[in-house]
Amino acid sequence: MEILLVSVIAFAIICGIIYWFDKNKEKLIKKFKIEKKEIMKCPVCFKEYDDLKLKECSHCNSYLEKTTKYIFSQKLKKRIASILFIVIIIVLIIIGVYYGISKYIEEKERQEKYNNDISTCYDLIKNKSDYEEFSDIIKNHKDEENFEGDAYNQLYKAIDERVENIKNGNEDKELINMLSDIKFSTIYDDEDMKNYIDEKYLLAQSYSNLNSANKYIESGSYKEAFDLLQQVISNNKDKNQEIVDIATNKQNEIKDKAFEQIINEAQTQINNQDYSSAQKTLENYKDLGNQTILDMYNNATNEVNRIEAERKAKEAEEERQRKQAEIDAKKDQLTINKNGKKIWKVCMTGNTFRFQATYRGSGNFIVKLLDSNQDLEELIVNEIGDYNVDKTVRVNKGEYYYIETYVSNGSWNGSWWGTYGD
Ligand SMILES: [Zn+2]
């Protein structure tokens, strides 16, 4: 854009100069005592001839044209040459100076933006907890070699200051949230950076928990304080001995009061016969050397086991009864017994059914097997007078059938196989 503007201006100035020269041609000729001379000139090879009568170029045989030639004095030529030389030098100097100044301004602006963005990076981490914006700024400077490193130094500085602030007893949940976001959302290509964030996250959280534990102690909630300190100790084990020591000392200071609260809480639960809650309350403290807690825990555990065993026994008994009822429902069931006719509802245990009987008398003896719809499945016997029957028929396992017997002027004796029986 700038180049275009400069070109247009230069073009306009050149046009102006040409126009001015053209307008003042005669005056200039007079002033600088330039001689005018008519000559013949070849338009093709530009050879000049003083002889005005000549028509053709002796060189290329083209037709010559008449033209005016301006003859500059030697002195004027020198003056023009020196003016031109000076003008070119001036133009070169102007271009050089312009280029130098614009480069200088550009560099200065870049430097200013660099410094501004670096201090913005510090501000974003220190005061705004905005790691996302911080990353965007780094992306904008990805062509500048040192920027990322400088920006991360600001991040380290800001985080260190904020961790120190928590260590001094002040709340800073935003820092912990920001570190957690960085920890879980960033794909690190730098192991040191990952370790740094992990370390600061743990420190910030641990100091914050120590502060919370102090608040619990102030308000008399010793059990909560004890638990929180325990968490701090296990999180920092083999990592930050200083924090482990602080938490352990504090835990020892409140141990007795915390145990008293735990015992009271568990006792209330035991009194309410809520043994499993009592067991949970005591579980984490049973191995810390307090005999009362251990005894209570063992008692609560025994109760929980006893109740569980009772519940299981009850469940097993219920299951047994349910299964028995299922079997009972399948047992042979005499539904009709009237005027020599008997009907049993039965359920088949397998795929065959065998009926065996002896009839003694002079009347009718009829036995039918009916399906669950009470339609005839098989006529087993239909005889008059003494008769022995032993017949096996195919049936469907698990399905219900009806056995119908009819007898007149006599009696029958027998039994069948393949049902659940009496
Ligand atoms: Zn010629």
Question: What is the per-residue pLDDT across 305-343, written as a single tens digit (0 to 9) for each?
Answer: 999 999 999 999 999 999 999 888 899 999 999 999 999
| Confidence grade of residue 185 (pLDDT, cut at 50, 70, 90) | confident
Summarised one tens digit per residue, pLDDT across range 55-100 is 888 888 889 898 988 888 888 889 889 999 999 999 999 999 999 9
**C-alpha pair distances (Å), 114 with each of 80, 158, 259:** 50, 18, 58
Q: What is the pLDDT of residue 28?
A: 79
| % residues pLDDT > 90 (the chain) | 76
Rounded average pLDDT over 121-138: 94
CA of 41 to the centre of ligand 1 (A): 8
Q: Are 417 and 353 in contact (CB under 8 A)?
A: yes
Non-local (6+) Cβ contacts of 39 within 8 A are 48, 49, 50, 52, 66, 67, 68, 69
CA 262, CA 278: separation in Å to the nearest integer? 9
CA of 45 to the centre of ligand 1 (A): 4
pLDDT at 293 over 90: yes
| Confidence grade of residue 300 (pLDDT, cut at 50, 70, 90) | very high
| Confidence grade of residue 220 (pLDDT, cut at 50, 70, 90) | very high
Q: What is the pLDDT of residue 287?
A: 92
pTM: 0.59
CA of 63 to the centre of ligand 1 (A): 8
Element (H, E) at 364: strand 364-370
Q: What is the pLDDT of residue 59?
A: 87
Q: What is the pLDDT of residue 74?
A: 84
CA of 26 to the centre of ligand 1 (A): 30
| Confidence grade of residue 186 (pLDDT, cut at 50, 70, 90) | confident
Q: Are 121 and 134 in contact (CB under 8 A)?
A: yes
- DSSP, collapsed to helix, strand or coil, labels residue 186 as coil
Q: What is the pLDDT of residue 69?
A: 86
Burial (CB count within 10 angstroms: exposed 0-12, middle 13-18, buried 19+), residue 242? exposed
CA of 414 to the centre of ligand 1 (A): 150
Q: Phi then psi for 290, rounded to 5 degrees?
A: -100, 115
CA of 47 to the centre of ligand 1 (A): 6
CA 307, CA 314: separation in Å to the nearest integer? 10
Burial (CB count within 10 angstroms: exposed 0-12, middle 13-18, buried 19+), residue 394? exposed
CA of 218 to the centre of ligand 1 (A): 114
pLDDT at 187 over 80: no
CA of 25 to the centre of ligand 1 (A): 28
CA of 43 to the centre of ligand 1 (A): 7
pLDDT at 1 over 80: no
Rounded average pLDDT over 138-165: 94
| Confidence grade of residue 380 (pLDDT, cut at 50, 70, 90) | very high
User: For the chain, what is the radius of gyration of the CA atoms?
Assistant: 57
Q: Which has more pLDDT, 394 or 20? A: 394
Rounded average pLDDT over 99-125: 95
Rounded average pLDDT over 297-310: 96
pLDDT at 366 over 90: yes
Rounded average pLDDT over 279-305: 94
pLDDT at 7 over 90: no
Q: What is the pLDDT of residue 304?
A: 96
Q: What is the pLDDT of residue 368?
A: 97
| % residues pLDDT > 70 (the chain) | 100
Summarised one tens digit per residue, pLDDT across range 385-414 is 999 999 999 999 999 999 999 999 999 999
Range in 105-114, 187-196, 236-245, 247-256 the model is least confident about: 187-196
CA of 74 to the centre of ligand 1 (A): 27
357: which strand partners?
389, 414
